[in-house]
Chain A
Amino acid sequence: MKYPAPMPVRRLIRAGELAGLDFEVLAGEAGIESREIKNPRIQKPGLALAGFAPYIKGGRLQIVGASEYAYLETLEEPERFQRWKGLIDAGIPAIISAKGIRPTEAVLRHCEDRGVPFILTRCATSVVISTVSLFLERELAPTVQIHGVLMDVFSMGTLIVGDAGIGKSECALELVIRGHRLVADDIVVVRHTHGEGLVGVPHRHLENFLELRGVGIIDVQKHFGMTASSPSVRISLVVQLVKLSEAARLKEKEWREQLMTSPQPWTETRDILGTKVPQFTMAVAPGRDVAVMVETAVRKCLLAARGVDDERAFLERVNRRAGGTGARPKEPDDG
């Protein structure tokens, strides 16, 4: 697992995703490269400006809006400036002022002297907070690189893993031909955020590329069109491909028994950045069309999310016919 480096304020100001906020740097331009945002959480410094200074967290972006200005209006100078000074000198990366409200020249001069960027936007405070928080959470999220292929199958992010040469890329190609989308081949960069969960993207140099042994490297967008790839997807399940060995055979037996007793269509989970993701393990062997099996596993997950449980339906039918004891007990929440 890797934590990204702190983000210089410049990246926030220039970010394409935040272009709608139309940032304008009023002062402290000198600090946009050296000042860094270390924490994805923003702070509203209202309490700090009211005098509760220890609450200011260095490394966090400060967002001031109408309420802060309204409160400061109730104070007299020089006390008002002292409060601003306390905030500006607290080791913060930058201040964003919402709703286009400008502070006094003295405040801007102090920001300029200390090299603390003071950034203006016309957008409402709530909009600034939500857009900037989502951006920071994404950019500062922990990531991990996984060797595998990530596909978007019916909008379910399907991570295919397994040893080199087992046929992950070939499976991806077959899935693309069946109308699904390639997200990443070989290196899948996965990040975890509270808002979005696990999201996988390609390595920045590998977008749209797929390597097929015996054929070469192909650009799936050029070969199959715009809809053959997707820039990112939320990871919903993992498919692990294994060779059909004696060990795999024994495990399959175990899984078959488990499938008949568990309410979920998957038999294991895999831990990715602290999140447990459903995992299917499939043995690769002649005559097994892995892509079709992957697609079916995804369908099974989608149906399970809607309460459809093939195994139970089957066992209940057998049970009704035979009056036997084959059916597993109903789940308590089934009603």
Chain B
Amino acid sequence: MRKETVPIINKLGLHARAAAKVVHAANQYDSEIFIGTDDEEVNAKSILGLLTLAATQGTSVQIRTDGQDEEEAMSAMVALFKNRFGEDE
């Protein structure tokens, strides 16, 4: 199992389109992928759960991957957050 904490740096935070991107990326991997804040942890392969986090710019989230391809899954997730989900700001 791998764990990493990443800040949310894009302006809109983990909003609907960003969440959809996370779900899409997470579903490329067999590993279980979870994203959590201080209070809650949700399954990254499901959009409903991700949206309940309502994580805004400036907050940090914990990513946890567990499974055969956990390393690849983790780098893909971290890259997505660092890349501001492909958004300009």
Contact = CB atoms under 8 A, between A and B. Distances in A.
Decide whether A and B are members of one complex: yes
A145 B48 CA distance: 14
B42 interface: yes
A211 B48 CA distance: 7
B48 A185 contact: yes
B46 A145 contact: no
B51 A205 contact: yes
B25 to A, nearest CB: 13
Contacts of A217: 47-48
Interface string A176-214: 000000000111000000000000000101100101000
A211 B32 contact: no
B45 interface: yes
Nearest to B46: A186
5 contacts: A2-B39, A145-B42, A185-B48, A187-B49, A206-B52
A209 to B, nearest CB: 6
A208 to B, nearest CB: 11
Contacts of B39: 2
Given A203-B52, A211-B46, A163 B32 contact: yes
A182 to B, nearest CB: 12
A147 B48 CA distance: 11
A217 B51 CA distance: 12
Contacts of B27: 164-165
Interface of A: 2, 145, 147, 163-165, 185-187, 203, 205-206, 209, 211, 217
Contacts, number: 40
B46 A147 contact: yes
Contacts of B52: 187, 203, 205-206
Interface string B32-47: 1000000111110111
A328 B51 CA distance: 51
A144 B27 CA distance: 24
A211 B47 contact: yes
A185 B47 CA distance: 11
Contacts of B45: 164-165
Interface in B10-62: 26-27, 32, 39-43, 45-49, 51-52, 54
A209 B48 CA distance: 8
Given A145-B42, A206-B48, 12 more contacts: A145-B40, A163-B32, A164-B26, A164-B45, A165-B27, A186-B46, A186-B48, A187-B48, A187-B49, A205-B52, A211-B46, A217-B48
A94 B56 CA distance: 37
Shortest 9 CB-CB contacts between residues of A and residues of B: A164-B45, A186-B48, A147-B43, A186-B49, A205-B52, A211-B48, A186-B46, A203-B52, A187-B49
Given A203-B52, A205-B51, A206-B52, A164 B40 contact: no
B60 to A, nearest CB: 19
B59 to A, nearest CB: 17
Nearest to B26: A164
Contacts of A164: 26-27, 32, 43, 45-46
A185 B52 CA distance: 12
Nearest to B54: A205
Nearest to A210: B48
Nearest to B33: A164
A203 B48 CA distance: 10
Contacts of A186: 42-43, 46, 48-49
B27 to A, nearest CB: 7
B68 to A, nearest CB: 13
A211 B27 CA distance: 15
Contacts of A163: 32
Nearest to B42: A187
